Amino acid sequence: MDYQSNFNLFIFNTFLNVIWCQTIIIWFASIHAIPVIILNYIFNRRLIIIAGGFDVANEPKSSYGSMRGKSRTVLGKWILSRAHRVIAVSKSNKKEILFNANVNPDKVELIYNAILFNGKKVNSNKKKQILTVGEINKETFLRKGLDRFIQIATKMPDYQFYHIGKWTNNKGRLTDEMFKYVESISPPNIKYLGYVNTEVLRQYYLESKVYLQLSRHEAFGISVVEAMSYNCTPIVTNSYALPEIVGRNGFIVQNIDEAILKIKTVLESELFSIDHSLLSKFSIENRRDKFNQLI
């Protein structure tokens, strides 16, 4: 079921689902999990919680994460304590689960997030353009490194930069408030395409030679994996899960100047070859098999 609010506790279908199921799987250790966890005190079904990022993060500098103290930390730790298994979506995420949320290591299982692969998607005629993808609001602007993306584009006026993603408020509702601000501080060589359908997104992955993800925190990085599957060379910060996800398939940078150097290297050289065999651990099939073994 898709639980929209805590009042789902009073929906009869929720009650029936908990009664008749064998295993409960919940995404994120947050307030939406409370109704089912309370019911599970009675029915004691096997409970699996996927800790996907914010719920176990502690990043005071960017004001990000439930594990920064106070009531959210207490609530998150209690929710995770009720799980029979806690799923980490990366090794980096697993460290956060263990050290920020103090979860018993015996309860934590690593199962990577996944994308659907449809064979190798190679385009030998890639354009000298730089792409980044992600939903942007006041919180994600810094966390996703869009400010760094803008700084680099400003210093590289002869190259075209693209951003794809929704513009929202901190509750995920669509708004153009943040877009107006970002557009006002951006150079003319950045095009903000907003939300696009899957086919358009695929086309930009296919055409772009560089995928740039300069996040300050990433528990995984699904867009990075998508970009690599389309033979788009990733350049990422040395932050949390990003080096782990990219591995030998791209470049890990420490600062803006190094990022610019690597971008120019990729754009002016022959097509960088992605080792698709290294992406198999991010396949739907691998994730399904891991969950089948767990359940």
For range 244-273, the mean pLDDT: 93
CB 284 within 8 A of CB 114: yes
Region 275-295 average pLDDT: 92
Q: Are 182 and 266 found together in one domain?
A: yes
pLDDT of 94 strictly over 90: yes
| Full domain range(s) for residue 51 | 6-110
Instruction: State the Rg of the chain over Cα.
Output: 20
Q: Residue 262, Cβ neighbours under 10 Å: how many?
A: 19
Does residue 248 fall inside a structural domain? yes
Mark whether 88 and 131 lie in a shared domain. Answer: no
DSSP label of 63: T
- The Cα–Cα gap between 83 and 101 comes to 13
Range in 121-130, 142-151, 179-188, 215-224 the model is least confident about: 121-130
- Looking up residue 15, the CATH number of its domain turns out to be 3.40.50.2000
Model confidence at 246: pLDDT above 60: yes
- Both 229 and 266 in one domain: the answer is yes
Q: Do 275 and 160 sit in the same domain of this protein?
A: yes
- Give CA 182 to chain center in angstroms: 21
**Is 294 inside a domain boundary?**
no
Pair 70, 161 in one domain: no
33: DSSP letter: G
Collapsed DSSP state (helix, strand, coil) of residue 180: helix
Looking at the structure, do residues 230 and 184 belong to the same domain, yes or no? yes
> Could you give the CA distance from residue 40 to residue 45 in angstroms, rounded to a whole number?
6
Do 142 and 217 share a structural domain? yes
Domains identified in the chain, total number: 2
* Contacts of residue 268, Cβ cutoff 8 Å, sequence gap at least 6: 128
Tell me if 289 is assigned to some domain.
no
- Spatial distance between the Cα atoms of 186 and 116, rounded to a whole number of angstroms: 33
Q: Are residues 149 and 261 located together in one domain of the fold?
A: yes
Residue 158 has pLDDT above 80, yes or no: yes
Provide the token pair at 63: 């004001």
User: Are residues 131 and 275 located together in one domain of the fold?
Assistant: yes
Q: Please tell me the predicted confidence (pLDDT) of residue 120.
A: 56
Position 1 pLDDT exceeds 70: no
Question: Does 104 share its domain with 136?
Answer: no
Helix (H) or strand (E) holding 93: helix 91-99
Binned at pLDDT 50, 70 and 90, residue 263 comes out as very high
pLDDT, one tens digit per residue, over 13-46 is 677 777 888 899 999 999 888 888 988 899 889 9
Please indicate, yes or no, whether residues 27 and 75 belong to a single structural domain of this protein. Answer: yes
Task: Give the pLDDT of residue 12.
Answer: 65
Residue 245 lies in a domain: yes
Instruction: Provide the pLDDT for residue 5.
Output: 52
Are residue 78 and residue 212 in the same domain, yes or no? no
Q: 184 burial class (0-12, 13-18, 19+ CB within 10 angstroms)?
A: exposed
Assigned domain for 58 exists: yes
Handedness of CA 103, 101, 295, 19 (dihedral sign): positive
Question: Would you state the structure tokens that stand for residue 294, as one six-digit string?
Answer: 């767990």
**Whole-structure pTM value:** 0.91
